[in-house]
Structure 1
């Protein structure tokens, strides 16, 4: 059984690649953000196959089967779909539990395919999302099971359309906008458990990230700062005895 040690590696302070490390306070090493400069290529490496052979059909609803399928879909979205002209980009339907969520090609917003009459505003933002109590408490576990393809478990946690929207927004919208979040989301799953914690610490919830639409050179400074702060905090927690005792779950994937 392998824990999420692939998420970070330590560097000495003499490392020449200082721009890709988050320094650990009072320690002779930093947290290496190895995906930072070429996240899309790192995702392709995980996929491990030629993208042309993946047969991603976005005309049909997408149901993630396992982690490698999730990586493949993200690679397709980032490398092909999102690079199309806006008027050419078709909306995509993503299945989350018993719900269908539409990922809008024009702006990456998520909305339910069948609107719940209790939801007066389909353009929900993070502050307005009201998740079910069970999913809000165990959001990290929900999205981990989702990218692993454990849909029976996802269905037991995703109980409302807003639950499904939250899953898609974090795992698809924000990753397409800023591919670093593919890896950062997994790190946050290790260190935080609830929806409130994700909203408090996720870099893309700081606001304004949508304006840059996958232009990594113009990612807001506050997003990058929040990401670096998370790297330091999570690495310290994972490496500490406290982190070993409080790990939310273990990774059994051969990754």
Structure 2
């Protein structure tokens, strides 16, 4: 498999997921579109994608069973539930969510949205954070590919790279914790996978890895998060404009910060 084109593994995933053509960009040499303008409507767009899932979902009555992603629409359905139902409950009514990643089980804590390993690995890694997390070499190098395969349910490919609890945490923190804290990240994560491939690059450029951004959930997003998000949009716009020497403007991105 050509690692630079790993998104080709699921050719129908993103067909027609957007309501408006002027808010999407067709990625060159890829069979889908990516949302490029989701400010103020990310939750509705996630809901639209989640509606295409045929999976039954009742996380409140999951009896602590770990969640295993079946496909991209199932992932969207889980995110929509977590955003609209689970996190809006009072803290004392929420249950921790257990996620299955390779051979590991990761706990998404209802109290603070932090991710930590379950059972035997929990005592060693509960206090991990982005700055100190030590991921395995192969996972670090192929982070975007692993992230994508997890989102679409290619668990055999995920298992080939996820070797440690820290690897599994790095997936869950970005795909669940940060999306719940700021729903725009559902789409922004996909954009970043086109621009950056390694875990180190995600740590350098992800808007929510700036420290303290989660504290503003439900309030105005910190300026530093918005600034980094718009900078990434501009980088991405330039990237797909220049692929294979094509200079036409595929979409327009403006920064409001």
Normalising by the residue count of structure 1, what TM-score does the alignment of the two structures yield? 0.79
Q: Give the SS at the match of 2:233.
A: helix
Residue in 2 that maps onto 1:237: 239
Shift of 1:32: 7.8
Q: Give the SS at the match of 1:203.
A: coil
Q: Separation in 1 of the partners of 2:232 and 2:38?
A: 15
Q: Separation in 2 of the partners of 1:142 and 1:191?
A: 15
Shift of 1:80: 0.3
Tell whether 2:154 aligns with 1:165.
Answer: no
Shift of 1:120: 4.0
Q: Give the SS at the match of 1:83.
A: coil
Can you give the 5+ residue segments of structure 1 that lack an aligned partner in the other structure?
Answer: 12-19, 21-30, 245-255
Residue in 1 that maps onto 2:58: 56
Tell whether 2:205 aligns with 1:205.
Answer: no
Aligned length: 223
**Which 4+ runs in 1 deviate beyond 3 A?**
1-11
Shift of 1:184: 0.3
Tell whether 2:99 aligns with 1:97.
Answer: no
Normalising by the residue count of structure 2, what TM-score does the alignment of the two structures yield? 0.78
Tell whether 2:48 aligns with 1:45.
Answer: yes
CA RMSD after TM alignment: 2.9
Q: Separation in 2 of the partners of 1:222 and 1:187?
A: 18
Distance of aligned partners of 1:234 and 1:243 in 2 relative to their CA distance in 1, 3 Å threshold: farther
Can you give the 5+ residue segments of structure 2 that lack an aligned partner in the other structure?
Answer: 1-10, 24-33, 247-257
Q: Separation in 2 of the partners of 1:90 and 1:114?
A: 16
